[in-house]
Amino acid sequence: MRGVFAFPAVSEGKTMGVLTFEARDAREPDERLLQSARVVGGQLGQFLRGKQAEESLRESEARFRSLTQMSSDFFWETDPEHRVASVQHGPGYVPTEPRVLGKARWEIASVSPDEAGWAAHRARMDQHLPFRDFEFGRPLPDGTRYLAISGEPRFAADGRFLGYRGVGRDVTEVSIARERIATLAYSDPLTGLANRTSLGPSLEQAVQRSRRRGSKLAVLFIDLDGFKPINDLHGHHAGDALLVEVAERLRAHLRASDLVARLGGDEFLVVLEEVADLAPVETVAKKLLGEMHRPFALPAATAMCTASIGISVFPDDAADATALMKHADSAMYAAKQAGKDCLAFYTAAPAANETGQADSSAA
């Protein structure tokens, strides 16, 4: 018969393990042995709990490191003046940017630090508040890169602000895709001009500017003459090529600040701001009509196409964008009825805009 002595390793009332000792003879343990067992069991229990905590911490750190490496391209810290103090790049991310240490983010961005987005971001950092997914562009030799950063403030034990610590991601592809979607939504995909969706707000803003300045504004509604026969004879591919050429001719003979839009089909609209009188408007319209007289080189043929232009003026003919477009459209139909390949200013007289007779300003 052999003797066995066993006692638990305990920490904070929880059994962390059991120790056993064997002896040749079996005998009752004395009080001294029992007290020693309790002391050793308590110390061993604390040791085992500490080892479990260390292992749990290692697993947690490994899990956190894995997750952050998968979700972030780089880690960064700043000093109390918001200057970049360190940057550590994650695996698989090869930075192409020049050194940024010692500089604030707004000193290396591709936009003015006074823009609204940066102003709000700097105000938040000055208040030592956390932020998430702040996006900005970096001009680099291979093009602008777009980054999204998130950060949290760091404080010392005495409450002193030490700077920020955070993560960042390269979101260039996402940003470019977002811009492309916005372009498709507000631009004509064929000609690249503004489309009907973006025209309304842009024209309304132009009206508001003219109202503040006390100046005039002219809307030119342009409709091609004879486009459908060209489209039917040579095909839609040739028709599209002609529309693209029309857009290029309009853009080339107008100021960069002038709004040019394609309303759909063979209809275009031009907005001329800061108009003092009607003479310059008529001059521009005649120049555009003349541009339409030049032959259009299509993929498999050469075609001729003219245009009819209707003109309405703010504030003479209308007080808002919707009425201006409506009246310019009405004047365009008057030009059509007058024989096409001409221009007509809007007039409220029914004979000029309802019965198809151009007014005395038609040319």
Same domain? 258 vs 117: no
Kindly list the catalytic residues: 266
Same domain? 240 vs 321: yes
First-to-last C-alpha distance (Å) of the chain: 127
Helices of type H across the chain = 31-71, 116-126, 172-186, 196-213, 227-234, 236-252, 278-293, 321-337, 350-353
Same domain? 136 vs 283: no
pLDDT at 357: 38
Higher pLDDT, 92 or 141: 141
pLDDT tens across 45-86, in order?
Answer: 788 888 887 887 777 666 655 555 555 688 889 999 999 998
* Amino acid (one-letter) located at 108: I
358 belongs to a structural domain:
no
97 belongs to a structural domain:
yes
Q: List 344's β-bridge partners, or say none.
A: 310
Higher pLDDT, 144 or 283: 283
* Mean pLDDT in residue range 234-258: 93
Residue 356 has pLDDT above 50, yes or no: no
* Mean pLDDT in residue range 350-358: 42
Query: What percent of the chain shows pLDDT beyond 90?
Result: 46
Same domain? 120 vs 213: no
Same domain? 207 vs 341: yes
363 belongs to a structural domain:
no
Residue 35 has pLDDT above 90, yes or no: no
Q: Among 317, 315, 347, which Cα is nearest to 333's? A: 347
Same domain? 102 vs 209: no
Q: How confident is the model at residue 95 (pLDDT cuts 50, 70, 90)?
A: low
| Domain end point (choices 23, 55, 70) | 70
Q: Give the C-alpha distances (Å, rounded to integers) separating 168 from 94, 130, 146.
A: 13, 14, 10
Domain count, the chain: 3
Alpha carbon distance 126, 124 (integer Å): 5
